[in-house]
Amino acid sequence: MADDNLDRAARNILHANDRGGYTVPNGRVYPFQWNWDSAFVAMGFDRFDRNRSWTELETLFRGQWEDGFLPHIIFWQDDEGYFPGPAVWATGTAPATSGITQPPVAATSLRRLWESAVDAGEAGAYRARLEALFPKVLRWHRWFRDNRDPDERGVAVVVHPWETGRDNAPEWDAPGEPIDTSQVGDYVRRDTSHLDAKMRPTKLEYDRYLALVQFGRDLGWDHARIGRESPFRVADVGMSMILLRANRDLLALAEELGRTEDADELRASIARAEAGIGWLWDETRQTWCSRDLVTGRSSGFITNASFLSFYAGLRDQARDQATIAHIERIGAAVRYLMPSLDPEDPGFQMIRYWRGPVWAVVNLMIATGLSEAGHETLAHRLRDDTRTLIARNGFYEAFNPIDGTGSGGDDFSWTAAVWLAWAGRDA
């Protein structure tokens, strides 16, 4: 399909999944607003409807809690066929939301929208909207600092695999073993009724997910207590790198707005992360890994999140060389970068969610970081692979890294957005 036809198809997907101020990832499987999905979707809308792109983020932050927490799902309207729905989460909020968060891409998206408006000569029309959104995003970043970094290392600790956005990555297997699933009970999943179960998390994984929802609900979604007492507490390398990048982008906006005290606060958060995030470097595997807070052990898994250090703005010659070597090794083993798990790992599965498939949104972040660090050849490989996957197979949720076939839902909003914002554009 020609690029102009793909542009049109991508726009049509965003329009079709638009529910009036927010966009669902896929109408059949995911009928609500998801946090980091909307951050990417806004980047896509910005290519053809600037006003609508800002509305996406504004609607997302209408679901923010008083303490700054931003949930991973906002249930703007109920859908009885979805599980677990608002009654299961029972957060007692209006609008109804889930009780966990997701990777903080919103600040990075907001900076991109603002700079796009500036480049278009429309800064005056959007400055007030930037000034209104900035303190909301900052409050969310403060929530991470105050609730999810107990040792003040500058990392982001997650209390549920869904918070990572990489739901069933193998990094969560060992930390998930202590979770008591005996009280989960019977339930019917929506995902496996619409998609091939071979692509989705297993029942054991899903039982653990639901047990953690019950745990948080039983504590009244007291995030401070959950952060201290949850049986699942992992410093997620992906979330940590994305948060560091988001703090840098939010700092740029603070400086743009002349918010001196906020800028100083953000510089302190960035400095803390730069000093402490090395805790996630695994010397044995020579890669960035998540780490279990309960046991202190590194996961040892090489995933697509392991390659976000450049995106986070980290620079260390030895670590960078080791990271590049892993990318080149993996690039020689698969047809399309970047698989969500090292293909040499015995648990590699080409189509099972975050245990093998390629995700366009992660490719965008990895390639952005590689380009900024001067690794243009690899950045172009990631962009070209993403472009080819979409052009040949459509706007799937994810893709098989070996043969390129689609995995997960089709007509997926964030894949369409990535095409419009990055993969389908001239280099």
Rounded to whole angstroms, how far apart are CA atoms 277 and 162?
22
Residue 350 neighbours by CB distance under 10 Å = 20
Rounded to whole angstroms, how far apart are CA atoms 215 and 211?
6
Which residue out of 236, 249, 397, 411 is catalytically annotated? 397
Which residue out of 115, 146, 167, 410 is catalytically annotated? 167
Q: Is 78 a catalytic residue?
A: no
Q: Is 397 a catalytic residue?
A: yes
Rounded to whole angstroms, how far apart are CA atoms 69 and 45?
25
Residues carrying an active site annotation: 167, 397
